[in-house]
Structure 1
Amino acid sequence: MHRLKQGSKVIGTKQTLRALEREQASVLYVAKDAQSKVTVRALDLAKSQNLPIVYVETMEELGSVCDVEVKTATAALIK
């Protein structure tokens, strides 16, 4: 997850989906406690593109790693 702190990234489901749809993402990060209706599309896109998926315990932890003060369901590293 240290790559998420330093690398170019998108944060939040809307931006993450946009990056996945444009095939710009290299790794998907998903909070385990996020609602599945929020994460299912991102997971499907990542799987169809054979991207690595990293699960983070909580939305709060993922937000903290991304250096934002809000909980985050998904994030992605950008190529």
Structure 2
Amino acid sequence: MERLKSSKKRIIGLKQTIKAIKNGSAHTVYIANDVEESIKNSILEVCRGKEVEIVYIDTMKKLGEACGIEVNASCASLLND
């Protein structure tokens, strides 16, 4: 998770993460385990067939903290160089 906080090539949030996966620029996706199933499923569906590492974080609060923000985050991703 330290990579997530220190990386300058990261995005936070559902819409931006899905866009990055679709255009092939995301290599790692972080998903909070306590996010709604529909959100989790939509992210996983977009990841299917792509070479994207999926990392689960316990809670949206912990994911937000890992991103260095003071609000909860449902998902985030690291981008290719």
TM score, norm. by length of structure 2: 0.90
Alignment of structure 1 residues 67-78 onto 2, 5 Å = 67-78=68-79
Contact 2:4 2:10 in 1 (8 A): yes
Provide the alpha-carbon RMSD of the alignment: 1.0
Moved segments of 4+, more than 3 Å: none
1:55 paired to 2:60: no
Q: Give 1:6's aligned residue.
A: 6
**Matched positions, count:** 79
In the superposition, the TM-score normalised over structure 1's length comes to 0.92
- Runs of 5+ in structure 1 lacking a partner? none
Alignment partners' CA distance in 2, 1:48 and 1:41: 14
Identical aligned pairs, as a percentage? 34
- Aligned partner of 2:65 in structure 1 is 64
Q: Which residue of 2 aligns with 1:43?
A: 44
Provide structure 2 residue ranges, at least 5 long, that are not aligned to the other structure. Answer: none
- Tell me the secondary structure at the aligned position of residue 48 of structure 1: coil
Determine the structure 1 residue equivalent to 2:29. 28
CA contact (8 A) 1:13 1:39 kept: no
Q: Is the 8 A contact 2:27 2:51 kept in 1?
A: no
Q: Deviations over 1:13-69 (max 9, x none)?
A: 011011111111010100000001112121122232031110000000000110111
